[in-house]
Amino acid sequence: MQVFIETTSGLERRLTVGVPSEKVESEINTRLQKAAKTVRLDGFRPGKVPMRVLRQRFGAGVRQEVVGEVMSQSFYEAITQENLRPAGQPSIEPKTMEEGKDLEFVATFEVFPEIELQDMAGFAVEKPAAEVTDSDVDDMIAVFRKQQGGWEDVSRAAKEGDQVNIDYAGTRDGEPFDGGSAEASDLELGSNRMIPGFESGIEGLSAGDEKVLSLSFPDDYHSEDLKGAAVEFKVKVNAVQEHKLAELDEELFKQYGVEDGGEEQFRKEIGDNMRRELDNALKATVKKQVMDAVLESHSGQEIPKALIASEVDTMRQQMFQQFGGAGATPDLDLQSLLPAEMFEEQATRRVKLGLVLHELIQRDEIKADAEKVRAHIEEMAATYQDPEEVINWYYSNQEQLSSVEAMVLEEEVVDKLLETASVSEQECSYKDAMAKAQEANAQNQGL
C-alpha cells in the first residue's frame, strides 16, 4: 500500500492511498465464489451458475461494495502507519477503481492539533466572599409563601401588584381591531403584559368602575398594522384582588418536604439548601474565571472545524430536546430552525477548552478522586427523602456515575490551576453571588 500525505491548510490533510489491484480482485473473486454456492438463476441448477454469468449479473455491485470496504480499511491502516489522529470523519473519493488497475483514492480530513500548554502562573481570580444570613432565609421564605399564596377580593381601589378581572374593548378610528377585546380577563397590574399606559390607567379604579383609555401602540410592536397606532380601550373592572401570602404553618412546611420540627426545622432546611447552592455558585464563578484565563492564554491555538461542527450538532439537539422536540416530525429541518450561528461561539469555547484541559490532565496525570466523587453524590442525595437509595442508584448506573466523575475531574483541574493563580476575595451578598453564578453556569455547562 502506497501512502502520500499533503498539508493543504492548517490542520487539514490530504491522504492519497494506492492499493494493489490484486487485493481488490481477490476479495471480489472470493465473494462471487461464495455467492455461487447459493445463488439461483433461471436456467441453471443451484451451485452451477458459471463464474462469467455471475460477473455479468453481480460483478458491478460486488465491486462497488468491496471497493468501499477496502478504501475504509486502507484509510485506517494508512493513518495508523503515518501516526495521524483524524478529527471528525474523512471525505473519501476514489481516483481510479477500474478492473485490472490499482485502486487509488484521496481522503481529506483534519487532524487533532498539537496542544502547547502555556505558562499561566499568576493569572488573576476574584473570588466572591458571601454567606447566607437570617435575612436571606427570610427573603427565601417570603418567596415560598408567595408561591403558595392566593388572590382575595378587596373592596378598595386597585394599585400596582393587585390582580384585576376586566372586560375591555379596543377600537382604532372607532373600529374594533383583532386581539383588542376580551371578557373576564385576569391582569396583574405591573406585569407589563399590556401596552404602555394600559395597566397604570386601571390603577385607582374599583370593582364596577369603567374608563376609556386613550393609548398608542409602541413603534416596535410585533404587528405591522398596529405599530404606533392611536387606539382607545373601553375598560370595565369586574373585581380587584390582592395577593395574600400563605400562612407560615405546618401545611406550608409540608409543601417543601418538612414533616416534623415546625418552623425551626423549616428554616434550618432552607438555610442548609441555600448554603449548598451558595457553595456551588461560588465554585461556578471561580471556575468561569479560570476557564476564561485558559482560553485567553491559548487564544492562538488552532482547533479543527470538524470538532466545532460536531459540537454545534450536539448543542442543537440538546436545545431541541430541551424544548420538547422529542415528538416532532422526522422531516423537521433542524439546521434551518436552529442555525449553526446560534451555537458556534459557545461550541468553539467548549472544543478549545476540551482540547487544552485534556492535555493538561494527561500531562499532570490528574484523576477524579474517589472520595470527592462519593462526597458529591452524597451531597446531591441529601436533598431526597431516601438518600441511601439515591447513592446506590448512582453507583449502579455507570453513565450517571461517569457524569459525576467528569464533574469532579473538572474541579480537580480548576484546583490545580488555582495553585499558581493570584486569588483575591471580594465581599458580596448572597443575591449578588447567585446572580454572578447564573451567568457563569451558562458558559461552564458542558465543558
Tens digit of pLDDT at every position of the chain (447 positions): 889 999 998 899 999 999 999 998 888 888 888 877 777 776 676 666 777 777 777 778 888 889 899 999 999 999 999 999 999 899 999 998 888 889 999 999 999 999 999 999 999 999 999 999 999 999 999 999 999 999 999 999 999 999 999 999 999 999 999 999 999 999 999 999 999 999 999 999 999 999 999 999 999 998 999 999 999 999 999 999 999 999 999 999 998 888 889 999 999 999 999 999 999 899 999 999 999 999 999 998 999 999 999 999 999 988 888 776 655 555 567 777 888 899 999 999 999 999 999 999 999 999 999 999 999 999 889 878 789 999 999 999 999 999 999 999 999 999 999 999 999 999 999 999 998 888 777 665 555
pLDDT at res. 9: 86
249 secondary structure, DSSP code: S
User: Can you tell me the distance from the alpha carbon of 387 to that of 2, in angstroms, rounded to the nearest whole number?
Assistant: 61
Q: From its phi and psi, is residue 368 left (phi > 0), alpha (psi between -120 and 50) or beta?
A: beta
pLDDT at res. 48: 67
Task: Give the residue among 38, 32, 1 at the shortest CA–CA distance from 16.
Answer: 1
Which CATH architecture does the domain made up of 2-111 adopt?
Answer: 2-Layer Sandwich (3.30)
Overall CATH class of domain 124-135+259-322+340-444:
mainly alpha
- Kind and range of the H or E element at 147? helix 134-148
- Kind and range of the H or E element at 401? helix 398-418
Q: What residue type is assigned to position 434 of the chain?
A: M
User: Can you tell me the distance from the alpha carbon of 446 to that of 279, in angstroms, rounded to the nearest whole number?
Assistant: 19
Pairing of strands 124-129, 422-427: parallel
404: helix, coil or strand? helix
* Length reported for the chain: 447
Q: Are 376 and 408 in contact (CB under 8 A)?
A: yes
User: Can you tell me the distance from the alpha carbon of 149 to that of 251, in angstroms, rounded to the nearest whole number?
Assistant: 12
User: Can you tell me the distance from the alpha carbon of 330 to that of 326, in angstroms, rounded to the nearest whole number?
Assistant: 10
pLDDT at res. 51: 74
- Kind and range of the H or E element at 339? none
Tell me the domain boundaries of the chain: 2-111, 124-135+259-322+340-444, 150-244
117 secondary structure, DSSP code: P
pLDDT at res. 240: 97
400: helix, coil or strand? helix
Q: Could you tell me where the DSSP H helices lie in 37-114?
A: 51-81
Residue identified by cell 459557545 is 346
Task: Give the residue among 416, 399, 316, 404 at the shortest CA–CA distance from 356.
Answer: 416
pLDDT at res. 447: 53
Cα three-residue angle 321-327-332, rounded to 5 degrees: 80
User: Can you tell me the distance from the alpha carbon of 81 to that of 77, in angstroms, rounded to the nearest whole number?
Assistant: 6
Q: Are 348 and 310 in contact (CB under 8 A)?
A: no
CA distances from 184 to 41, 158, 160, 208 (A): 79, 16, 19, 13
User: Can you tell me the distance from the alpha carbon of 42 to that of 377, in angstroms, rounded to the nearest whole number?
Assistant: 68
Phi, psi of 295 (to 5 degrees): -65, -45
CA distances from 179 to 138, 154, 175, 186, 234 (A): 42, 29, 12, 15, 14
Bridge-partner residues for 9, per DSSP? Answer: 12
Overall CATH class of domain 150-244:
alpha beta
Bridge-partner residues for 4, per DSSP? Answer: 16
Q: Is the whole-model pTM more than 0.95?
A: no
